[in-house]
Structure 1
């Protein structure tokens, strides 16, 4: 572990090129990414949850998330951990979890305001959560995620105005957040506007294949580009289709092995009670 992971991780958000953050779901994926030379990796809550047969974003994977974090901090790479909504309602409880991760050697955490019922946490409550974490562990990089656009995207609703995300982003920065994450924000004008509003606070976006490129997001001023669950879903897709082609030589595969991976909802459904067909 680097002697100063917090300072090094913070510097990566203010480097010449945006931080491309790949997300791991188990020790092997984290080790493989570290071996490839990525300076920092995150965890993906969907990947961790589905790999354990549990639902994502419900607070069900606290134990698995902590175990993974404690293992991968031994790798020669900076680590930030997706703790969903903090695995608890009380701000002091979330702060205690953050302190535990910090003590283990984690450089940052990602805290989201989306709730399992598809609503957003009250703004005042989320402000209190972020403030409590930063008061307890000032050096920990807190990436404050707002799900204003994500909930609309996965629920099929209308894209909200940028003001919805901007209001929460401004509040989270006042609470002490070191970065702001707005997954499913894809409109270039909105991205550029939010970058301007945030000033020196890094904007983190979720990479959307087919919508933007790394280079274009860099031009817009994005400072951190997360892969989210993309690598996990791509790995599932490739593994299943490779197995199919081995078992059915010459037959048309179930899907193109190089094609699009399953979406979030399809991957999430793998955690549903499984009923095999004979």
Structure 2
């Protein structure tokens, strides 16, 4: 299967009636562990988690070469489509997407940082133009930070902004629109109504409904960002505390590495 075929498959997974759940990974061993599950249809990298792996804070502080090297290693290590979190494009969305595709990436996240709409749309257009030039139908998960950066605004303002931006990103070629935030069914229903059925992507946070309900609401995709790594680190820290307290390793350790 060519990368173009893999990207087309990933786009189809966003369009299919079933909710696409992507568990975020940050290195080769975490990617292989998730890809080995029969339920896994695709995986996504988490930029926050990759940056933390190398000791960098989130927010494009990690050198782009280092980030791309890791997402390329992940793509080479698994047989399922990989969507890479490319933050805001590291200063050049088109070139960053072009390089990611060269490393085997079939999809990407691109965030708008709530920049002026024209500038944000231009970034999506540059990403899709780069993908078209490479002959790959990239599955672009265009992220709007309407809620993340609009915490002091009325909820109705954030919904309207997310809908306006989401429609513009879809028009520019995005596959779906990622609206991260911790909100309930009422907001999700308005986002789906405004942006489109099977066109909204969310992150699994405490107030987000269960996957089965998200499917009923018309959501296309659910991811988990840095929280998967945080769960793993919490388990590691808990194990260490237990060992320091006189405990022993459990007997049922799975050999996943």
Structure-1-length-normalised TM-score: 0.80
> Structure 1 unaligned runs (5+)?
115-119, 251-278
- Is residue 85 of structure 2 the alignment partner of residue 86 of structure 1? no
**Structure 1 position 101, deviation (Å):** 1.2
Work out whether residues 185 and 191 of structure 1, in 8 Å CA contact, stay in contact via their aligned partners in 2. Answer: no
- Alignment-derived partner of residue 270 in structure 1: none
- Alignment-derived partner of residue 101 in structure 1: 100
**Structure 1 position 64, deviation (Å):** 2.4
> Structure 2 unaligned runs (5+)?
248-257
**CA 1:158 to 1:123, structure 2 compared with 1: closer, same or farther past 3 Å?**
closer
- Alignment-derived partner of residue 32 in structure 1: 33
- Structure 2 counterpart SS, 1:147: coil
After the TM superposition, which residues 262-277 of structure 1 pair with which residues of structure 2 at under 5 Å, given as runs? none
Q: Deviations over 1:63-114 (max 9, x none)?
A: 22211121111211110000101011xxxx3212211211222111100012
- Alignment-derived partner of residue 54 in structure 1: 56
CA–CA distance in structure 2, aligned partners of residues 20 and 46 of structure 1: 19
- Alignment-derived partner of residue 235 in structure 1: 232
The structure 2 residue matched to 1:206, chosen from 195, 203, 208, is 203
Work out whether residues 183 and 207 of structure 2, in 8 Å CA contact, stay in contact via their aligned partners in 1. Answer: no
- Is residue 122 of structure 2 the alignment partner of residue 128 of structure 1? yes
- Structure 1 counterpart SS, 2:202: strand
CA–CA distance in structure 2, aligned partners of residues 67 and 219 of structure 1: 38
CA–CA distance in structure 2, aligned partners of residues 32 and 201 of structure 1: 28
Q: Deviations over 1:124-176 (max 9, x none)?
A: 111111111112213111111001112346xxx45632112111112211222
Q: Deviations over 1:216-236 (max 9, x none)?
A: 111111110011111111001
**Structure 1 position 201, deviation (Å):** 5.5
- Alignment-derived partner of residue 140 in structure 2: 142
- Structure 2 counterpart SS, 1:105: coil
- Is residue 226 of structure 2 the alignment partner of residue 193 of structure 1? no
- Alignment-derived partner of residue 250 in structure 2: none
CA–CA distance in structure 2, aligned partners of residues 61 and 33 of structure 1: 26
- Alignment-derived partner of residue 253 in structure 2: none
Work out whether residues 25 and 43 of structure 2, in 8 Å CA contact, stay in contact via their aligned partners in 1. Answer: yes
CA–CA distance in structure 2, aligned partners of residues 185 and 243 of structure 1: 31
Number of aligned pairs? 238
Q: Deviations over 1:195-232 (max 9, x none)?
A: 12223552100011354211111111111001111111
**CA 1:159 to 1:233, structure 2 compared with 1: closer, same or farther past 3 Å?**
farther
- Is residue 16 of structure 2 the alignment partner of residue 18 of structure 1? no
- Is residue 101 of structure 2 the alignment partner of residue 77 of structure 1? no
CA–CA distance in structure 2, aligned partners of residues 160 and 218 of structure 1: 23
- Alignment-derived partner of residue 252 in structure 2: none
- Is residue 163 of structure 2 the alignment partner of residue 166 of structure 1? yes
